[in-house]
Amino acid sequence: MQVDRRSMMIGGAAVLASAPALARKAGGDWFDRAIVIDALGGTDDPYGTEGVTRLSDRAWKETLATGVTVVRDTVFPVGNSADGWAEYQKDIAARHDLLGANPDRLLLVRRAADILEAKRSRMFGVILGTQDTSMVGPELDRLAQLKKDGVMTVQLTYNNRNLAGDGALEPANAGLSKLGRATIERIEAEKLLLDLSHGGARTMAEAAAHAKRPLVISHTGAKALTDHPRNTADETIKAVADKGGVVGVYFMPFLTLDSHPKGTDLIAHIEHVAKVAGEDHVGIGTDNGVLPTMLDAETRKKLDEWQKQRIDAGIASPGEAIGVYPLLSDYNSIDRYRRLAGDLAKRGWTQTRLEKLFGGNFLRVYKDAWDG
């Protein structure tokens, strides 16, 4: 079941003009009025009952308390499997079940205007996207079906090689295939947003060069600071920016080689990307759930099991290990987005720069990709 969308008939210029205006009305904290976008996160309910798709009241209250307007959530599968399309169909149905069970809370985003409507209506916007094209393969008409299903962003590869190109963990680093180029062209023709996260270094560089429209790397770090395969070279960061795109920085262990980054490491990566790409081309894509991770015994057990599955499947990145959790401890709290904004403000970030970082830049590229 698809949630009813309260989309508004407003032009692209009005979309971009309205966002900063929302954050500059008199009174209160600018963060409360800002469009805050987590370009790669999740909508999990840590307090929910298994089998119940309605968000618990506690999860809903805490989601609102984060201040996040919209999150980009992942439709699976990732990695190569026997029937990726069947897995996709199962997972997209589950996503629509969640939306259908929460029509007063969750808003499916198909246009940039929907993000502004989510803010005005005190709803939580959900952008659906893939983290692979393994479910598409050579059947490029499936991209049109993804769009019909409400999927608005398409990530070209995950960590391993697929038919489009090499992922970040492929030692050959063979780059983009002919099919990969055709896939990018079809993504752009469908007015979907191309995401290069998890790509091999050569794949990302070649894809950024081949793209004709704005694109993103929704969740990554700066390779110049931490030489990890999940992080991105300055040249590619700049290439994405030159196409009008945005690079999102994640709250992940890969920000340092010891897998235990601190808040200062996150800030260093954000500021590096902002310096290389420019303040109009940097954003936040935590690669976490919007809500903090409760590291109690049960959660640790589940995360360890999930991590073992990733290792066994050969899709785990260097540094992933049992007992290493996909989060950044210094910002593992409900108010982490607000605290990060405050910490950056102490370093001289102006309100205008913070509005761009926390949502304005991704809002612009969503408008360019989907509505332009």
Residue 128 within a domain = yes
Residue 28 forms part of a structural domain? no
Residue 158: what pLDDT?
98
Predicted confidence at residue 290, as pLDDT, reads 95
Q: Is residue 272 part of a domain?
A: yes
**Domain CATH number, residue 148:** 3.20.20.140
- Domain hosting residue 155, numbered range: 34-43+57-292+330-371
210 domain residue, yes or no: yes
Q: pLDDT under 50 in the chain at which residues?
A: 1-18, 20-28
Residues 266 and 141 grouped into a single domain: yes
Cα(194)–Cα(177) distance, integer angstroms: 16
**Structure-block tokens of residue 87:** 């897995």
> Are 85 and 135 contained in the same domain?
yes
In a domain, 255, yes or no: yes
Do 265 and 301 have their domain in common? no
Q: What is the spatial distance between Cα 66 and Cα 60, in angstroms, rounded to a whole number?
A: 10
Same domain, 251 and 303: no
CB 197 within 8 A of CB 151: no
User: Is the domain of 165 the same as that of 86?
Assistant: yes
Instruction: Give me the pLDDT at residue 77, please.
Output: 98
Please check whether residues 164 and 288 belong to one and the same domain. yes
Q: Is residue 6 part of a domain?
A: no
CA–CA separation, 53 and 38 (whole Å) = 22
Residue 2 CA to residue 18 CA, distance in Å, equals: 27
- Does residue 105 sit in the same domain as residue 39? yes
Rounded Cα–Cα distance for residues 230 and 259 (Å): 12
Q: Which two tokens stand for residue 46?
A: 């840590």
Same domain for 231 and 271, yes or no, is yes
Q: What dihedral angle (degrees, nearest 10) is formed by the CA atoms of 201, 203, 209, 215?
A: -90
221 and 138 housed in the same domain? yes
Same domain, 276 and 363: yes
Give dist(CA 278, CA 292) in Å, integer.
29
Number of domains present in the structure of the chain: 2
114 and 212 part of one domain: yes
Distance CA 163, CA 161 (A): 7
pTM: 0.93
